[in-house]
Amino acid sequence: MAIGSFIESTSSMVLTELLAPLRDNDGMALPSRYEVIFSFPPGNRGSKTGDNSNIFHQILFGNVGAGGSKDVSMQCNSFEFPGRTLQSAADTNMQGPSREIVNDVTFNEVTGVFYCHSDMREKTMFEAWQNLAYDPKHMTVGWYDSYVSNITIYNLDQNDNRKYGVELQECFPKTMTPQSLSADQATSVQRISVSFSFRSCSLAVNAIPVLRRSSISNASFSNSCISSFSSALVISCEPKSTKSCCNETSSFVKSSCS
């Protein structure tokens, strides 16, 4: 009887330890909890006057200003955290078993799938972005800095807090897959798959609060700004400086103690 109680209590403790990560504040990462932020390129770098004869720069600028970039972020059905591969070569300068010496790192392309509105605004945004790299009207190639930008990917917890993030640098949409049309009865909405090429990636700074759809209208920010391109998809809230926070804290302590 004592042995049975011991086994039962031990198994209960093991089960509790196994379930503990699922019940704490951190929990387990879920692939369905994510946020993708696009910073669309300006399209006019490299020109002396800042102007650009590429008409697709004006189209992209107009779409971003009209909220099209926000639609792209909200309609993102799936995305990927990037993978990476360490390139290595065998060190054959010494006798015996050779060592693999790392000499570089490469990143694979990432793919995102987006739902499309009836006017295909999501597809139009990425087409205009691609046309900054290659202008089909004049058959010219754009400046590199004019068509690359950053993409930030966040993993969220159950409370929409950003727990992990990666920023992809110097990105551009390399491939857009064909979209099938059919006269059969529709069972799903139209989607488009886009593959992005990028040069490097780094951990993203978790400084911007997540804006939920239901709380955007009720949100209030002490220092918010909307930038046409660099932060086109979200209202970026700059955290207060450490100096101002210390001043507020010291004022509060002084008033409380007096």
Split at pLDDT 50, 70, 90, the class of 178 is very high
pLDDT digits (tens, 9 = 90+) for 201-228: 998 876 444 444 333 333 333 333 323 3
End-to-end Cα distance, the chain: 66
Split at pLDDT 50, 70, 90, the class of 157 is confident
- Judge whether 196 and 110 are in contact, CB under 8 Å: yes
pLDDT digits (tens, 9 = 90+) for 91-131: 988 888 889 999 999 999 999 999 999 989 889 889 989 99
Please determine, for residue 184, whether its predicted confidence score (pLDDT) is greater than 80.
yes
Separation between Cα atoms, residue 51 and residue 46, nearest integer Å: 9
Please determine, for residue 10, whether its predicted confidence score (pLDDT) is greater than 60.
yes
pLDDT of residue 8: 61
pTM here is: 0.65
* Bridging pattern class, strands 236-237 and 149-156: unpaired
Could you tell me how far CA 212 lies from the centroid of its own chain? 16
Please determine, for residue 71, whether its predicted confidence score (pLDDT) is greater than 70.
yes
Separation between Cα atoms, residue 90 and residue 101, nearest integer Å: 6
pLDDT digits (tens, 9 = 90+) for 12-58: 666 666 666 666 666 788 999 999 998 888 766 544 444 455 555 55
Domains of the chain: 26-88+99-238 (2.30.110)
pLDDT of residue 21: 61
Residue 64 region, left (φ>0) first, then alpha (ψ -120 to 50), else beta? Answer: alpha
